[in-house]
Amino acid sequence: MSLSEERPRCSRALVAYVLADAGSEGSPGWTHARKSCSFGAVNQIGQPSSESIVTESVAANSRQASKSADGSLYRYVGREFTEVEMEIVRTLCLDPAYPTRASISRALCRSLGWTKPDGGLKDMSARVALAKMAADGLITLPAPTGPQPVPRRHLEATIEEGPVLACSLGELDSVSLVKVDTRSDSATWNELIGRFHYLGYTRASGAQLRYLAISNGRLLGAIGFGAAAWALQDRDTFIGWDAKTRRQRLHLVVGNPRYLILPWVRVPHLASHLLGAVARALPGHWVERYGYAPVLLETFVDVGRYAGTCYKAANWVRVGQTKGRGKLDRNKAYALGVKDIYCYPLSRNFRTKLLGEGNPAS
């Protein structure tokens, strides 16, 4: 398989065969964005007024709901905030020197030393965290200054179903992975996942890469990668992580939250073949975009729906199961289905790098 800039010809309306649901247990999902598609190229803070400041009772209730199990920390977007840091957040939000959400997020990153592995500010993650804090009643933010996306519950069908493609893997012409870089590619990817993956599409924050699989101008499927789950007991045991090391090294693990093959594409071994190809391509693309190389991939397979056959065939390792809680289950309600956890090492010494031993990865 070769990576190319090949773009599929326009072929419209997809009913996708979902291979894996990956991305529900503690990791961000992927949702509705732009619904138009052209297959020619496939494919987000200031001084509040006195009346806007929340009452202390509301804030106290929200703080209780957002705190960690021991009650000492607040957790947002995979980062824990101490009470001292939360006071810094509140001070910045009240400072007229920072009149917009963007300026507050940048100032917060500088104040807390919240940076990416390449040294850049994690201002987009900070904006998401600030928005969640505001929703929890912990802070008050100024109104957004830019145009806001209009949420849509249903995606408009813009892509037509193609004829059945039934052949052997060897009979396919030049299977390619197209990295999603353009707006039109992104719109197509979003539509496919939003309409045809049973978990749908939700906008992801933080580092991410998405791909479309194409053969001779014809779309075969889509796959996406993003932030890993914050805490998974069986995964962390497999790696050998304690909580402190996990916080420091989690960026070196990349999650695979969505994967689908179109239902009329009936090519044995294609799914595992694509997984192998993307595992070879992703580290270099991640370095190009984010300045560091991940060393482990992870995904989830709903045991009530799928057997994880393609992941097994691509040499992913089943390391355990989730508890069925999800990232928002603070009361241990266990409302979600249990999922198998699969991991794929991208480096032979992945444990050494994830544990920060020897010459750790940046």
Residues across the chain: 362
Confidence of residue 253 (pLDDT cuts 50, 70, 90): very high
User: What is the spatial distance between Cα 132 and Cα 127, in angstroms, rounded to a whole number?
Assistant: 9
User: What CATH number should be reported for the domain whose range is 2-43+150-355?
Assistant: 3.40.630.30
Which of the four pLDDT bands, split at 50, 70 and 90, describes residue 157?
A: low
Q: What's the pLDDT score for residue 311?
A: 97
Least confident of 19-28, 222-231, 351-360: 19-28
Return the percentage of the chain with pLDDT > 70, whole number: 72
Q: Report the alpha-carbon distance of residue 17 to residue 25 in Å, rounded.
A: 21
pTM: 0.68
Mean local confidence (pLDDT), 76-105? 91
Q: What is the dihedral of CA 2, 345, 180, 5, to 10 degrees?
A: -10
Angle at 319 between CA 355 and CA 220, to 5 degrees: 105
More confident residue, 62 or 338: 338
Give me the mean pLDDT over the 39-44 stretch.
30
Residue 333 reports pLDDT greater than 80: no
Residue 48 has a pLDDT of 35
For residues 251-279, give the mean pLDDT. 94
Instruction: State which of 41-55, 80-94, 112-126, 182-196 shows the largest mean pLDDT.
Output: 80-94
Residues 64-76, mean pLDDT to the nearest whole number:
62
pLDDT of residue 196 exceeding 80: no
Q: Based on the number of CB atoms within 10 Å of its own CB, is 112 exposed (0-12), middle (13-18) or buried (19 or more)?
A: middle
Q: Using CA atoms, how far apart are residues 187 and 207, in angstroms rounded to an integer? A: 18
Q: How far does Cα 86 stand from its chain's mean position?
A: 25
Q: For position 107, what pLDDT does the model report?
A: 95
* DSSP H or E stretch at residue 343: strand 339-345
Report which listed range, 14-28, 120-134, 139-153, is most confident.
120-134
Q: What is the residue extent of each domain of the chain? A: 2-43+150-355, 50-135
The model's confidence at residue 203, banded by pLDDT at 50, 70 and 90, is: confident
Task: Report the pLDDT averaged over residues 134-163.
Answer: 73
Q: Is 335 within 8 Å of 276 (Cβ atoms)?
A: no
Question: Between these two residues, 217 and 358, which has the higher pLDDT value?
Answer: 217
